[in-house]
Structure 1
Amino acid sequence: MLTETYQQPLLDSIRVIDHPEAVRRFFGLLKELIDIVNLPNGDARLVFSPSRREKGVISADINFFQALRIQRPPHRRTGRGEVEYHLTVKKSCQERLASIEELVFEPITEKSDYVAVIIGQSNAHLLTHITLRSCWEDCLLELVESNKRGPHSARHNSDVYRAAEDEALLSDLIRLADDPTLAERGQNGTTVEEPEADYETESASAQQPHNLILFGPPGTGKTFALQPYLQDGNASLITFHPSYSYEEFVEGIRPEVLGNQITYRIRKGIFHKACMSAIQLAGYGTLADCLNDTPENRHRRLRKAPAHYLLIDEVNRANVASVFGDLITLLEADKRLGAENELWLTLPYSQERFGVPMNLFVVGTMNTTDRSIALLDIALRRRFSFREMVPDPGVLPIIDGIDLPQLLRTINERIEYLLDRDHQIGHAYLTNVTNQADLCDTFRDRIIPLLQEYFFNDWSKIQLVLGDNPSWGKDPEQRLIWVRKKYTASATTRLFGEIPESVDEIVTYEINPHLHRSEYDQLPVETFIRIYQKPTL
């Protein structure tokens, strides 16, 4: 939440700049700077601030060096007093950039090894110039390692950092800068500080388990269920994959090239950043500030703070026990910072103290076709709540005389009988179907390939699922899966000259050629009706 002390100078600067597009472009650059230097909000090496002396100036300093700046000068330089972007590069880069005539270079100080590259808004396209970006990014990495100057007199404004990370917050700031009466009219709750007594968040998070996994077959709306968490901006989203590791999730050492030398720096992962975002919602600048507070204050502030959500799609595609590592204990609700039995530990790479705040909620999705819940690590199962997402045929319509709800129920009942409930087909496969042609596309491109994967190309079982087996009574032209050829003993002999040993009766199959060639007008509507409705003889 914004505080009035920090908010007003930032709003004043945005108002003087008076160019929403330029402000958004600057904060986009600032977000890239944050990702490159990989330092959290509140780190002593960063100072992001609106200028106290000059209106319409916002700057980002690293180790007391100006690294990035936006301003609207009252005079000359770019000719029309337009908005300017200042990117710091090493002096040695001037020769590489000399061919770009529109650039203006300005020494930061008389003896500095760095210069500011000034770009006017009318030439903003140059901000993506590959040479300029390379020079700027190399300079940022060098500035992080520098400790040549200090102390710095500017005060870090955490709202500048947050606005770079949070698009919704930046939009609120731009709107409020344009119309200050929004705060008075109460139309923008995120930009108005509330009294601490009213700062309660009992609604959604009160009923929300701290650790929750939504599980079910594909197409049951698991990922869609994550969307509401993303609407207020207090959420981080990641998708797990088989090679995902603890070093990417929490922290790890990564090689980087700095001045033609390979260096190794500790980079924070998304889980660490999510924990930082959560404690900052409680008013702490860093984890150290939180841990140095009294237990009573920590409990009070974290309990009242808004929730931050870490959303993990496809959580079971990674080795979850390996990714969480020693943090698995800290995930427990009563072991989180601010809880009754709070714990923290020392991270292996940075040697920093670390805990999981109680206002961080972890929500994952799990596709049961990849792995059953029974196969998950027992420690993980004990720490997470599980909520099954099942196919919901009731959301589907009847189109062109085809009862899609009954179609889905019948197919899933057959799959559950032949395989298990974890391999059913979700309603999302059919939610966008509005006519028979759409249904044909869905079966050809999505459902039949999925059944091939489920049954390992056992076409006889796929026929059973689709009602194409001879005993169901469909007319041959109504079947989606056709028998192409049955190899009798004589046919096999003609093919090989003999009958191979240990070969049972062989049957080959093919997808209905009309379906395969998109000749949907050649497929009668009964092709799909007869999947769930047995023909009367």
Structure 2
Amino acid sequence: MLTETHQQPLIENIRAIGHSEAVRRFFGLLKELIDIINLPNGDARLAFSPGRREKGVISADINFFQALRIQKPRRGEVEYHLTVKKSCQDRLKSIDELVFEPITEKSDYLGVIVGQSNVHLLYQPTLRTCWEDCLLELVESTKRGPHSARHNADVYRAAEDEAFLSDLIRLADDPTLGERGMNGHAVEEPEAGYEVLPDLPIQPHNLILFGPPGTGKTFALQPYLQKENSSLITFHPSYSYEEFVEGIRPEVINGQISYRIRRGIFHKACLSAIHLAGYATLADCLNDTAENRTRRLRQAPAHYLLIDEVNRANVASVFGDLITLLEADKRLGAENELWLTLPYSQERFGVPINLFVVGTMNTTDRSIALLDIALRRRFAFREMTPDPTVLSFVDGVDLAQLLRTINERIEYLLDRDHQIGHAYLTTIATHAELCDAFRDRIIPLLQEYFFNDWAKIQLVLGDNPAWGKDPDQRLVWVKKKYTASTAAKLFGEMPDSVEEVITYEINPHLQRGDYEQVSVDVFIKIYQK
């Protein structure tokens, strides 16, 4: 149980700041700083302290350098000060709302001031990267403490212990609580000042756009990327839960190996979503009443996590136990909300209802029929098929009909998942560009589809003899036919196989780039006999 006489300097500064939500947000940032630098409470390199001479200030110093600070209104609103390397200033100048404050004339570091009205900028990716890089550099500075005379252990504790922080804020808001011993009664905090926004977007919370290559799946993510609240990741075969959610990673600091818990992009996306609802940390969100949490999350703007090539990773392994929390009705703010304890940090964790996950899936890598049943049940799937209608004529070649014919043949010989998307031909404006597309992209793709079964590739391109093309109008030529007698001449004896063998080659003019020698009929007669 806290009393106001304990932790007095910290409580007085929280009271002077006069903005409980801003204080919670600051301590959320301080918790992230602690995770990044990985130093224990009381380490000589740290000085976390409330202001002494100037009330309404709480700061975190690393090796005598200010790293993070909050202070009461000086320009009319609460301010957050983040320290970055001076070399980052050019990268940050495009963010108009940021204010830069020199530390000293010769310092290699710079203060970046973010006002409460622009608090969303605290999570702007470029600023966060600059700040986190600076923290790691400050830890390794040779300008060391001791700081023990200035370090207030309660500041560190408040960042790590959400219940302790809540008690401090309540005492700052109402000093009489200390006299009444808190009595376990909840004290209502003032509502966050955010606008009531329209309901969440009308789309599935978990959506996968699937289809063959070149159908515009990644292009369909562009509207989401143009929104301010979005993050993008591309999966790969070795991607893991530890990278996606959280994991322990080794780091070498001053020649010593240490292990730190690092948050992955999914964890950060969930944090960004609750920040949009006015919460500083996930703990604040989970400690709120269910009714208030539901209202705030449903009225908050949406955050989009975009996952390109989602099926290239082992999705069931990457999501792990979070697969249940992805369900729309199990999210924070939903009717049947759930949360769990993460295995590494042992923190409570949930997926907010204003987070939308949109993935893309190339069906040539894996059909949706082969996906984990649990994943298929939790995601909505929207097929994106080749659209020939966006194509036109180029030098007399009907690109739309050309694509339709090729895809109909592929679907017959393989399946619909291995068609060719319209994007392979959308930028074609000349005969030379069409030749380039077939030489460098389409024919190699067909080789992959058919495992170098050139007879089937000829069928797809209309180069088989029965289609009636003249030999010089074919993209894939018969190089040589080996009968029993020609095989005997080649080897000096009859090989074990006496079957007729045919070898193929790509039109030499196409291969060499002699496109003047490649007739337009080569392409027209793919679809027109």
Task: State how 1:307-326 maps to structure 2 within 5 Å.
Answer: 307-326=302-321
1:295 match:
290
Residue of structure 2 in register with 1:401 after alignment: 396
1-structure distance, mates of 2:288, 2:20: 22
Q: After the TM superposition, which residues 330-369 of structure 1 pair with which residues of structure 2 at under 5 Å, given as runs?
A: 330-369=325-364
3-state SS of paired residue (1:206): coil
Moved more, 255-264 or 437-446: 255-264
Identity rate of aligned residues, in percent? Answer: 70
> Are the aligned partners of 2:480 and 2:504 in contact in 1 as well (CA < 8 Å)?
yes
Match in the other structure for 2:262: 267
Please state if 1:150 is matched with 2:147: no
Alignment CA distance shift 1:382-1:133 (3 Å): closer
* Conserved? CA contact 1:64–1:151, under 8 Å: no
Give the aligned residue type for 2:196.
Answer: Y
Equivalences for residues 324-473 of structure 1 within 5 A: 324-473=319-468
Q: Does 1:66 align with 2:65?
A: yes
Q: Distance in 2 between matches of 1:252 and 1:195?
A: 35
Alpha carbons of 1:475 and 1:6: their partners in 2 closer, same or farther (altered >3 Å)? farther
Is the CA contact (8 Å cut-off) linking 2:232 and 2:307 kept in structure 1?
Answer: yes
Structure 2 partner of 1:479 = 474
Match of 1:255 in 2: 250
Q: Deviations over 1:67-121 (max 9, x none)?
A: 5599xxxxxxxxxxxxxx8759xxxxxxxxxxxxxxx998xxxxxxxxx971499
Matched with 1:526 is 521
What is residue 235 of structure 1 aligned with on the other side?
230
1: CA distance between counterparts of 2:211 and 2:472?
Answer: 35
Residue matched to 1:183: none
Report the CA distance shift for 1:120/1:421 in structure 2 as closer, same or farther (over 3 A). Answer: closer
User: Partner of 2:7 in structure 1?
Assistant: none
How high is the TM-score relative to the length of structure 2? 0.70
Distance in 1 (CA, whole Å) between partners of 2:344 and 2:142 is 20
* 2:488 paired residue number: 493
Alignment partner of 2:107: what SS?
Answer: strand
8 Å CA contact 1:412–1:424 kept in 2: the answer is yes
Closer, same or farther in 2 for the Cα pair 1:67/1:508, shift >3 Å? farther
Q: Distance in 1 between matches of 2:230 and 2:498?
A: 58
Cα separation, 1, equivalents of 2:377 and 2:410: 30
Give the conservation status (yes or no) of the 8 Å contact 2:477–2:504. Answer: yes
Tell me, what secondary structure is at the counterpart of 1:374? helix
Q: How many Å apart are 1:499 and its aligned residue?
A: 1.8
User: Which of these residues, 178, 198, 202, is aligned with residue 201 of structure 1?
Assistant: 198
**2:107 aligned with 1:118, yes or no?**
yes
Q: Deviations over 1:390-421 (max 9, x none)?
A: 00011111111110000000000000000000
Displacement after TM superposition at 1:6 (Å): 12
Cα distance change on mapping 1:423 and 1:358 into 2, 3 Å? same
Q: Which amino acid letter does the alignment assign opposite residue 197 of structure 2?
A: E
Query: Once the 2 structures are TM-superposed, how far is the Cα of residue 519 of structure 1 from its aligned partner?
Result: 0.4
Residue type of the partner of 1:150?
N
Q: Residue type matched to 1:302 in 2?
A: L
**Per-residue deviation, 1:141:** 13
Q: Give yes or no for contact 2:402–2:527 (8 Å, CA) kept in 1.
A: yes
Residues 366-401 of structure 1: CA distance to partner in whole angstroms, max 9, x if unpaired? 000000001000000000000000000111111111
Q: 1:481 to 1:250 in 2, by over 3 A?
A: same
- Output the CA distance in 2 between the equivalents of 1:347 and 1:68: 28
* Alignment RMSD (CA, Å): 4.0
Equivalent position SS for 1:311: strand
Q: 1:364 to 1:493 in 2, by over 3 A?
A: same
- What SS does the aligned partner of 1:437 have? helix
| Residue identity in the other structure for 1:265 | R
Q: Is the 8 A contact 1:275 1:356 kept in 2?
A: yes
Give deviations 1:23-52, integer Å, cap 9, x for gaps. Answer: xxxxxxxxx99996599xxxxx999xxxx9
Instruction: Evaluate the alpha carbon distance shift between residue 221 and residue 470 of structure 1 in structure 2; reply closer, same or farther with a 3 A threshold.
Output: same
Structure 2 CA distance for partners of 1:467 and 1:357, relative to 1, 3 Å: same
Q: Which residue number corresponds to residue 182 of structure 1?
A: none
How far apart, in 1, do the equivalents of 2:245 and 2:395 lie?
Answer: 52
- Do 1:282 and 1:302's aligned partners in 2 also have CA atoms closer than 8 Å? yes
Deviation at 1:498, TM superposition (A): 1.5
Change (3 A) 1:235 1:370: same
Equivalent position amino acid for 2:429 in 1: T
Q: Which runs of 4+ in 1 moved over 6 A?
A: 4-8, 32-35, 132-135, 140-143, 151-154
Q: CA deviation digits over 1:131-166, x for unaligned, max 9?
A: x989826528999xx987126999x9xxxxxxxxxx
Q: Shift of residue 474 of structure 1?
A: 0.7
The Cα of 1:201 is off from its aligned counterpart by: 2.9
CA distance in 1, matches of 2:380, 2:215: 18
> Aligned partners of 1:468 and 1:34: how far apart in 2?
66
Q: Secondary structure at 2:140's aligned position in 1?
A: helix
Letter in 1 for 2:140: C
Distance 2:103 2:354 in 1: 46
**1:252 alignment partner, SS class:** strand
Query: Helix, strand or coil for the counterpart of 2:344?
Result: coil
**Separation (CA, whole Å) in 2 of partners of 1:293 and 1:64:** 36
- Compute the TM-score of the two structures, normalised by the length of structure 1: 0.69
Q: Is the 8 A contact 1:481 1:509 kept in 2?
A: yes
Cα pair distance change 1:270/1:499, threshold 3 Å = same
The amino acid of 2:431's aligned partner reads Q
Cα deviations by residue, 1:413-464 (Å, 9 ceiling, x for unpaired): 0000000000000000111100110000000000000000000000000000
The superposition leaves residues 314-353 of structure 1 with CA deviations (integer Å, 9 ceiling, x where unpaired) of: 0000000000000000000000001000000000000000
The whole-number CA distance in structure 2 between the counterparts of 1:7 and 1:395 is 51
Contact 1:239/1:314 (8 A) holds in 2: yes
SS in 1 for 2:322: helix
* Corresponding residue SS for 2:233: strand
The equivalent of 1:502 in structure 2 is 497
Could you say if the C-alpha distance between residues 120 and 363 of structure 1 is closer, same or farther in structure 2, counting changes exceeding 3 Å? Answer: closer
What runs of 5+ residues in structure 2 fail to find an aligned partner?
A: 1-17, 23-31, 40-45, 70-82, 87-101, 111-132, 159-191
Unpaired segments of 5 or more residues in structure 1?
9-31, 40-44, 71-84, 89-103, 107-115, 122-131, 157-193
CA distance in 2, matches of 1:436, 1:420: 29
Structure 1 contact 239–313 (Cα < 8 Å) conserved: yes
User: Which amino acid is the alignment partner of residue 282 of structure 1?
Assistant: A
Compare 251-260 and 385-394 and name the one that shifted more: 251-260
